[in-house]
Amino acid sequence: LKMFSLGSWLPALPGLAWGWALLDALLQGLVGACAVSVLCSLLKVYLYTQCLNDPERQEEKEAIRTQRRVLDPLHVVVLTGVLALVGSRVAALVVLEFSLRAASTVLSLSKGAHSSQLYLLCQYSLGCGVSCGLSFLLEGAPHGTCNLVLAAGLAGLLAAYARRLARHVCTLYELHSRARYCGVCILLLASGHGIPWLLRNALAITFAVADLAAVALINRDFLSTAEAVRFWTPLTICYTLLVIYMQEESRQSAGGQLVYQTVLVRMGGLFILLLTVGRWTDILHVFISLLGELWCLLRAGVMLEVCRRQVRDGTHRPDAG
């Protein structure tokens, strides 16, 4: 089977090894970006169908429908580059921070009122989680690049089909759901309310694997238990304080600015932490992560506003979480 390992055909040169590492990083970033694209497309389908069924939310429906579709491929390209540039150490920290924040949010909201908004807020963390998981699972694999090529191809197909589904729903669902002659629209009409349940289970599995991978990727840099304790102790304290602060802010205020303020606070806390226990490359990766978070939030701005209106108007149903 060595004939299928591309690296076995070429001489072992340091520059060539760096080139393969860059290719692997790009492929991991592409898989993560495609996972984010699938998440956004399915949420777009769900929110559109929910708005369509409510006469008072036709303005929100039109806002979702008129989103610029040409930006979807650009979103994948930009996110692929960002995820490829972010180191595994900072990506792992982003995954752990979001997992702690998500667990706190789920436990504090028994009704799941912000579940759809939480799915949108996890975009960049999801990309980092997929990238971390692939990096950990394929570490040292003899055919890792080939496996990543196959994973990227499958992820690309899923993302393309999810975007096609969202385009079909936003264009023809209103007509097809009344005429009852389109199998896809009939299926969504009957079981479209189950999309959040599907996303919740998929994200729970993804972040469970990503958290294990993140801990392993971070711990591999420590030569002793004392070094690990010096890193994990301030990290745990910092993340706990961040979660408490964000929970208090979310209770006191609501709105679009709070989302961006939260991103700045989180990345600022991570920046200060890594100034004391990190490396200079980690600082650069924090700034790249900040750009990635802001890009994802800007791209999902319309859907975030729809979710905020759901919460504000009290129209979010318990089965949607």
The series of mean pLDDT values per 10 residues for the chain, 321 residues long, is 44 47 87 93 88 74 74 86 88 88 73 67 91 85 83 93 89 76 81 86 92 87 76 79 71 64 80 76 87 88 80 50 38
pLDDT of residue 55: 67
pLDDT of residue 19: 61
- Distance (Å, whole) CA 43 – CA 147: 29
Q: What angle do CA 155, 159, 163 make, to 5 degrees?
A: 175
Contact 49, 43 (CB under 8 A): no
What pTM was computed for the model? Answer: 0.84
Domain ranges of the chain: 23-310
Residue 109, SS3 per DSSP: coil
Contact 121, 207 (CB under 8 A): no
Residues 6+ apart with CB under 8 A from 62: none
Contact 314, 307 (CB under 8 A): no
Closest CA to 282 of 89, 135, 147: 89
Torsion (CA) 200, 203, 205, 210 in degrees, nearest 10: -160
pLDDT of residue 112: 44
Structure tokens at 255: 């709105």
Q: Hey, CA dihedral for 83, 84, 87, 92, is it positive or negative?
A: positive
Q: Please report where in the chains the tokens 């890193």 appear, as a residue.
A: 231
Closest CA to 128 of 44, 214, 20: 214
Structure tokens at 209: 């694997």
Contact 107, 185 (CB under 8 A): no
Residue 106, SS3 per DSSP: helix
Q: From start to end of the chain, where are the E strands?
A: none
CB atoms closer than 10 angstroms to residue 193: 16
pLDDT of residue 319: 41
CB atoms closer than 10 angstroms to residue 305: 15
Structure tokens at 280: 């200079």
pLDDT of residue 12: 43
- Distance (Å, whole) CA 119 – CA 196: 9
Q: Please report where in the chains the tokens 């979010």 appear, as a residue.
A: 316
